Amino acid sequence: MRNKEEKAKGALHYYLQSTSGIVGAVLVLVMIIVAICSIFGITPYDPVEQHIENILQGPSAHFWFGTDEFGRDVFSRTLEGMRRSLTVSITAVTLAATLGVPFGILAGYIGKWFDQLVTRVSDVFFAFPAILLALAIVASLGNDWYDTALAIGVVYTPIFIRVARGPVLTVKEMDYIKISRVLGFSSFRILRKHVFPNVFAPIVVQIALSLSWAILTESGLSFLGLGTQPPTPSLGLMVSEAQPLAAFAWWTLVFPSLFITIVVVGLNLVGDGLRDALDPARRSS
Amino acid sequence: MAIAASVSIISGSLIAAGPAQAASKDLNIGLTLDIDNLDPQRATSFATVRALGLVYGSLVEVGPKLDIRSGLARSWGFNAEGTQLRLHLRKGVKFQDGSAFDALDVKASLERILDPATKAAARANILTIKSIRAAGYEVTLELTIPNVAILAALDGVNMAMLSSDDIKEGNVGKTVNGTGPFKYVSWEPGQSVKLTANTTYWGGKPKLDTVTFRVIPTEASIISALNAGTIQFSVITSPLVAKQAGSNLKVYKTPGLAYVALQLNAKVAPFDKLGVRLAIQCAVSRAEVVKTASSGEGAVIGPITSPAYASNPKSRPCPNVDLVKAKQYLTDAGYPNGLTFKTMVAPTQFATASGTAQSLKSQLAKAGITMEIDAVDDSTFISRWLAGNFGSSVANNGGRIDPDTMYTRYFTSTGNLNKVAGYSSVTLDANFAKGKSSGSDSDRKAAYTAISNELEDNAVWIWLFSPYEYRVATKNVTGFIPLATGSLIELRKVDLK
Amino acid sequence: MNFRRIMKYPGVSRTLSVLTTLFGISVFVFLVLRVIPGDSITGAFGIETGALSPQQIAELRVYYGIDQSLFMQYISWMQSFLSGKFGFAYSTGVSVATLTKSSLPVTIELAIIGTVLGVILGIAIGMFSAKKPGSTRDFAGQLFGLLALAIPGFVLSTGIVTIMANKFHYFPNGYEYMTPWENPWMNFQQMMFPGLVLGIAVAAPVMRTTRSALLETVDKDFVRTAHGKGVPNNTVQLRHILRNSLIPIVTMTGIQFGYLLGGAVIVEKIFALPGMGRQILDAIMKREYATVQSSIMIFAIMFVLINVATDIIYRKIDPRIKK
């Protein structure tokens, strides 16, 4: 049995052999740097500062991505928007995974009534339209970014339950598990040694995918007016506000859309790379 | 260019495979909202008011110069004291179902509005009616106090004249039967309302054959539909979108009566301190709000937008931005280091809502005031607003041609929305009473000027601007006269070339 | 007849779990709506609610049925739902059933068009890509897959409407909506762009699933045998490989279709399609409880049924799965 270090090095080795993985990682890294710039305030202008004399100007040396209808610098807003989108999406997925994975594993392992209960409840959330849930949470708790993150996180939890539960069901039937239980090994040890490693790969891949979906969901919610509220920029909100402007101020629509596309593509490629690196069956193809 | 032209030709013939337009003059109107009920006396939402306004008629009408013109009442007169109003009705007017309109219908309609069970929107405006006498084509209203302003209150879809038979049989709200220039045909909820011309309309047969209101949920799509010629007329509320209308479309822009204001609740801290309210007033440049929130389209106004009694926007403690004064007011009120408060906004409620909030936030920051935007959805806004459960909020309220109907319910101590307005005083009550009952124009002007000054001197609310009313049409629509009240009644004169 | 024996009958345990899920959804929807501030009265009257006297408000509460206890409200809604009326949509004057009768077909048609387009597009590009993995073709195909996934639907929709209507003066969705029975040609034109936008969104995951499933199957022994026997390449592709790759594709399609049913709100809004998504959104804004609850229940029922159907197809295709 290879030890953890060797396994990790092996995974990294395989990951680096995957072109998509590398491209994806680069794209995501660029976006993270962009977001970090915003956190430390390294933006050309304050994202909410209005430059009244420079309303709706195209890209120029002063304002790299042009200005919007309030005279705000689109470049600075895009950086801040990326930060917000990533913050909401990381928080949402962390919440979903933290809730979903343990429940999924336990449901698969314990089985019987507990499994039925967890699956039923997760089905209820799964069939529930995200928008209604988001509106409810946002209307009763507030509009801050963590409320949006909570709404998205709750909606994504069932996916993690499912993804975690699947491999557990498969592993549970395997002979060496049955023998371990007969031999009296504690459930905790079985979970740790045999179940968890099998669950790890799909979860990690799902995290990357869910991060990309969360960004799209957040922008959809903002588009409908249910996500981030003005004047805080979020990429989805910027696209929504750009709708009436698109015909004569293309830069207000194109740049935030481009950034959404880049980060979603990047995260998906990272997901692919991770899948190739972590799933032994895949490595052959 | 050639590609665009050939695609247009091809697509034109593609679309023509649909219902033929031929010689029939059909006007299609695009609105973002559907109507929400068929009872004109209870119509308050945007689309319902405009659609039912074409089907029903009222005793008087407001003209393009915001003067009062004859409607279903041909002429009228007050007695010397102003306590009695006699209306002489038009003869020969028929309802959509063919029955004749007479004084009994007027009496029944007014009584229905006054009946609390109806929950009529305009009830509060005609409460001074003590009794109604109706015979033939004469209606006499006895008023409890002199109230010349009631004449202006008789206009509008909420004062629609209904058939007394319909009222008796309980048909109102279930079937539609009016005296307007167009007759109701059908309503497909969520999709369209179809009207057809009333050939026996008292104002003359409309040149249009049919009018259809179509629901197109986003204003950007409405402009697209106009550009493609699938609709010919629309009401647009967003100045940004209106600006997007190309040179191939006609934009009718009129100053409106509605106003956007930062409402302060003087019953809630820190707005209970006059100094705080005045500081806000002095820190805000309305011109800047118009420029950024409304794309430069809008008029800076004072409390009263009714043209005959319009407030002078310069008549306030700080007609221009004065940050020094603002900071002084704050210090005197006990906030030398500035203060923080939350402002409630419903971004989807009206087009310039969120822009206004953002502009205010950025301007107040310069005076050391931190305004936190608390964005909620429409229904949440309304329920909190009604409960007075807010310190400040950004709102777009309707205006009227008469200040009495515009503000009595907010700023008199007995007004049903006074809890929301958060302010009242003995002098306001006295002046409102004077304005309501006085017959003399100059007395009324004096009373309303005093009211306006008191509201501004106490910075009760921060009145910002009045947005324009936009109607966008294709070039083949001729003869339309836009009204500041938003009414589309002048479609009765419109022709399609 | 004891409990265990009943449960052993085919379909019983499945039906029970479906019913439990639906019950859970009904309760959840009901409660969530009551948590949001505002109610039927503020939804209907807006600020005019302030003009109502306490007595009028009490009368209105009876009219809207919100004066009763939550439990009774739930029961009376359930009764209306199970009797087929689905409750009353006050602002339109008709029952929710009537509203749904015209809006549900629109959403279903849109979902079907989107799914079919997406599956065809996705499988085609997936096959195209998988033929020569690592080639330029493959790269192009995968790029398409990624872009289709990453460009938000509302960006695509806005772009299409702006260009088509403003540059080419072509906007069929600006006309009154026509059902396929009334005017098939107009209906096609009105469904074409929104269907395309949704189809592209569906094509992305279908394409990636197809490609990876094909690549996996290609290595399997029976394929080598077929090649060895001299079966032409295309036949091998279609008949053997695709059929075996169908399982994940079918599962993916099922999920996408169910998702489309619930998720086409934005597209319906931009293209002015009078479907269920808009119905629900508008009703939420107006706090029309019955409309929201019943519409979501209908969606949930369809979603659940699709899951069941997918499962059955799944079992039929793959003989390896034990019944």
Residue C251 at interface with chain A, using a CB cutoff of 8 Å: no
Q: C57-61 long-range contacts, Cβ below 8 Å, gap at least 24?
A: C59/B117, C60/B119
pLDDT at B423 over 70: yes
Number of H helices, E strands in chain A: 11, 0
Give the best residue of A46, A50, A148 to mutate against chain B (max B CB count within 10 A).
Answer: A50
| Packing angle, helices C276-286 and C96-131, rounded to 10 | 130
> Counting Cβ atoms within 10 Å, is residue B24 exposed (0-12), middle (13-18) or buried (19+)?
exposed
pLDDT at B216 over 80: yes
Two structure tokens written together for B457: 């001197």
CATH code for the domain of A91: 1.10.3720.10
User: In B262-322, which residue ranges form alpha helices assigned H by DSSP?
Assistant: 274-283, 286-293
Residue B292 at interface with chain A, using a CB cutoff of 8 Å: yes
- pLDDT grade, residue C70 (50/70/90)? confident
Residue count of chain A, please give it: 285
Burial A12-44 (b: 16+ CB within 10 A, else e): eebbeebebbebbbebbeebeebbebbeeeebe
Chains with 3 or more CB pairs under 8 A to chain C: A, B
- In C52-71, the residues whose Cβ lies within 8 Å of chain B are 52-53, 55-56, 59-60
Contact C76, C92 (CB under 8 A): no
CA–CA min distance A15, chain C (Å): 17
* Domain-embedded: residue A268: yes
- Chain C residues in contact with A139 by the CB 8 A cut-off are 36-38
Cβ distance B241 to A71 less than 8 Å, yes or no, reads no
Specify the pLDDT at position C65: 83
- Nearest CB among A52, A69, A71 relative to B240 is that of A69
* Domain-embedded: residue A5: no
Letter for the amino acid at A203? I
Contact A23, A268 (CB under 8 A): no
CA–CA min distance B400, chain A (Å): 30
- In A127-146, the residues whose Cβ lies within 8 Å of chain B are 135, 138-139, 142-143
Mean pLDDT value across residues C61-84: 87
* Domain-embedded: residue A140: yes
- Nearest CB among A128, A246, A260 relative to C28 is that of A128
**Helix or strand (DSSP H, E) at A162:** helix A145-172
The residues with which B69 forms a beta bridge, in sequence order, are B61
* Sequential DSSP letters for B105-159: HHHHHHHHHHSGGG--TTGGGGTTEEEEEEETTEEEEEESS--TTHHHHTBSGGG
- The three-class DSSP label of residue C259 is helix
Residue B380 at interface with chain A, using a CB cutoff of 8 Å: yes
Residue C216 at interface with chain B, using a CB cutoff of 8 Å: no
- In C123-142, the residues whose Cβ lies within 8 Å of chain B are none
Cβ distance A236 to C158 less than 8 Å, yes or no, reads no
- Nearest CB among A132, A236, A285 relative to C296 is that of A132
Contact C96, C87 (CB under 8 A): yes
Which residues constitute the domain of residue A133? 17-38+73-279
Contact B178, B57 (CB under 8 A): yes
* Gap between the Cα atoms of B456 and B462, Å rounded: 8
- Tell which phi-psi region holds residue C53, choosing left (phi > 0), alpha (psi between -120 and 50) or beta: beta
Does the predicted interface ipTM exceed a cut of 0.90?
no
- pLDDT grade, residue C220 (50/70/90)? low
* Domain-embedded: residue A119: yes
- Each residue of B73-130: pLDDT tens digit? 999 999 888 899 999 999 999 999 999 999 999 999 999 999 988 888 888 889 899 9
Letter for the amino acid at B336? P
Residue A244 at interface with chain B, using a CB cutoff of 8 Å: yes
Q: How many domains does chain A have?
A: 1
- Each residue of C283-309: pLDDT tens digit? 887 888 888 889 888 888 887 787 777
- The three-class DSSP label of residue B259 is strand
Residue B221 at interface with chain C, using a CB cutoff of 8 Å: yes
Cβ distance A135 to C304 less than 8 Å, yes or no, reads no
Contact C273, C110 (CB under 8 A): yes
**Helix or strand (DSSP H, E) at C104:** helix C96-131
Chain B and chain C share a number of CB contacts under 8 A equal to 165
Distances, alpha carbon C66 to alpha carbons B62, B144, C58, C207, C275, in Å: 40, 38, 10, 49, 27
User: How far does chain A reach from its first CA to its final CA, in angstroms?
Assistant: 24
> Counting Cβ atoms within 10 Å, is residue C184 exposed (0-12), middle (13-18) or buried (19+)?
exposed
CA–CA min distance B361, chain A (Å): 9
Mean pLDDT value across residues A256-283: 81
- pLDDT grade, residue A34 (50/70/90)? confident
* Domain-embedded: residue A26: yes
* Gap between the Cα atoms of A205 and A101, Å rounded: 13
* Gap between the Cα atoms of B303 and B263, Å rounded: 11
- Nearest CB among A132, A247, A265 relative to C150 is that of A265
* Gap between the Cα atoms of B283 and B256, Å rounded: 26
* Domain-embedded: residue A88: yes
* Domain-embedded: residue A59: no
User: What's the mean per-residue pLDDT of chain C?
Assistant: 80
Half-sphere exposure of B47 (CA within 13 A, CB side): 24
Sheet hosting strand B339-345, strand order edge to edge:
B299-300, B461-466, B259-264, B392-397, B339-345, B369-375
- Each residue of C250-273: pLDDT tens digit? 666 666 666 666 557 788 888 889
pLDDT at C319 over 70: no
| B94: DSSP letter | B
**Between B278 and C277, where is the model more confident?**
B278
- Nearest CB among B244, B347, B374 relative to A244 is that of B244
* Domain-embedded: residue A61: no
